[in-house]
Amino acid sequence: MFNEARKLINTNAHIYIERLAEAVAIRSVSTDLSCRDDCFAMADLLHRWIEELGGSSDKVLVGFQELDDGSRYDLPPVILAEFSAGKPRQKPTVLVYGHYDVQPAAEADGWSTDPFTLSEVDGKLYGRGSTDDKGPILAWLWAIEIHRELELELPVNVKFCLEGMEESNSECLDDLLERESKGGFLSNVDYVVITDNYWVTTDKPCLTYGLRGLATFHCEVKAGTQTLHSGVYGGCIAEPMTDVIQLLAAVSEYGHGDIGIENCGRKSATPITEAETELYKGITFDAEAFRHEAGDVPALLGENEKEVLMNRWRYPSLSIHGIEGGYSGEGFKTVIPGAATGKFSIRLVPGQDGKAVEESVKAVLEKRFAELKSANKMTVTSTSSKAWLADPRCPLYQSGAAALLKVYGVKPDLTREGGSIPVAGLLQEKLGVETMLLPLGQSDDGAHSENEKMSKRNYLQGVQVLFTFLGEIARAHEERGDMPNGTPKRKGTLGRLKDIWYGLS
Ligand SMILES: [Zn+2]
């Protein structure tokens, strides 16, 4: 059926692109309240398409935002949808997570085309949401449609959780997942697949098994209620900006690389194993290109490609994002700000506990602040979300790898990412099942930036990858039977899978 599906995808290509254009044209910008109706329109469109394809779909309201003037805005609904596999045999259930909201975009930001009109240029489909994440979620729907058109039963049950607030911190999703995982819509899910990230390169597919978490810190030091003249007050008061600079220096005392705070540095990361080192061997990654993409920075931290990737994926990092307060405009102004705030964050990795990181950082700030003997008031606020790590040797990844191998003719890289997608850890934790990131787009798709695109090839091949994956996971699930942790039931299975495991055992 692989070839039949390919033929059909080619025949349907223009329809898939037209439908993506229809989705891109809807300005479902979740951070912009003036676009809230568009978010609902986007949910309606998906709901309609799902029902037309024979699925059942619910638009679940999860809460509202209330503004200072008392006006209320419902949050965009979460779509919980389901396509049932053929009966009578018991089939596993795959949950697909994606989001239909997008980042803001305006032609004035530097787009070469109208961001809300899908424009095909040199085989690339430009438009806001084309790759993040409308293109990928539509590819899932067309993979299901192909089964219908070829009169094939779905090999597994497919459930969807499509949210409309991903670009706004997934507001209220946590509560919904908690509720639905306890005897609700999500209670009988066997596998989770998230299609909301990108390849590490432009030409080789990958599967992503880890993400860093994030701890954020706002450290405010306040003296009085107003800005002062340094000629009048300089030397007479403890200056908030001086305090903040000293505090930021304390948290970053190691300079570049490691972090010198208890529970935060490299020592607190899970030690690297031989099996993990093996995973890095086959990865296609060009550090020089990476350096170039960063605006030709003079050098990267890391002796070689593997070290650069490890610094990016599996070790913590501290970044100081900015300081609020004082005068940073043109010219010179001899002011003493009444208050100053330092903003920084730490990317968290497996082995690190977010709460412990928050506590340790606060302890360093408090100790340094006490040393400064400042009469000012320091307030520290922080948040944290955990890192996520899956075992790429499990059947879910083998199925993903098998599908990518069939479609692209190469074994995908097994990769991690330095960024954070909190829902991955959330779903894995709440549902307790294997979770995989299966990206369809390329490294240069420009999600969140100007000229976001998805290559036509990736969109169409993506449909084929997902079509193939559903068959692969059905087979892997059957082979695994009731055995725990992916122990194959049938003889000979391990040989086939081992090949995809890159020699891991
Ligand atoms: Zn996204």
Q: How confident is the model at residue 294 (pLDDT cuts 50, 70, 90)?
A: confident
Residue 376 has pLDDT above 50, yes or no: yes
Share the mean pLDDT of the chain. Answer: 92
Ligand 1 centroid from CA 196, angstroms: 5
Question: Given this model, what pLDDT does residue 169 score?
Answer: 86
Asked whether the bond before 88 is cis by omega within 30 degrees of 0, the reply is yes
Question: Given this model, what pLDDT does residue 281 score?
Answer: 86
Over residues 198-217, mean pLDDT: 94
For 240, the 3-state DSSP assignment is: helix
Residue 155 has pLDDT above 70, yes or no: yes
Annotated active-site residue in 132, 133, 163, 166: 166
- Asked if the 214-269+315-381 domain carries CATH number 3.30.379.10, the reply is no
CA gap 466, 458 in Å, rounded? 12
Contact 92, 473 (CB under 8 A): yes
Contact 33, 65 (CB under 8 A): yes
Picking from 87, 73, 83, 16, the residue whose alpha carbon sits closest to that of residue 39 is 73
CA gap 60, 167 in Å, rounded? 18
Ligand 1 centroid from CA 133, angstroms: 5
Annotated active-site residue in 101, 145, 167, 434: 101
Handedness of CA 466, 131, 37, 76 (dihedral sign): positive
CA gap 66, 119 in Å, rounded? 36
CATH of domain 2-211+388-500: 3.40.630.10
Over residues 362-388, mean pLDDT: 97
Residue 27 has pLDDT above 60, yes or no: yes
Q: Give 225's contacts (C-beta < 8 A, 6+ positions apart).
A: 338
278 is catalytic: no
Ligand 1 centroid from CA 203, angstroms: 20
Ligand 1 centroid from CA 153, angstroms: 30
Ligand 1 centroid from CA 57, angstroms: 21
Percentage of the chain exceeding pLDDT 90: 84
Kindly give the residue spans of alpha helices, DSSP state H, lying in 25-133: 36-52
166 is catalytic: yes
Over residues 178-202, mean pLDDT: 94
pLDDT digits (tens, 9 = 90+) for 81-99: 999 997 756 899 999 999 9
Encoding tokens for residue 244? 């903040």
Question: Given this model, what pLDDT does residue 1 score?
Answer: 85
Q: Where are the domains of the chain?
A: 2-211+388-500, 214-269+315-381
Question: Given this model, what pLDDT does residue 80 score?
Answer: 98
Ligand 1 centroid from CA 28, angstroms: 13
Encoding tokens for residue 28? 């479902």
- Of 196-210, 260-274, 488-502, least confident by mean pLDDT is 488-502
Question: Given this model, what pLDDT does residue 500 score?
Answer: 44
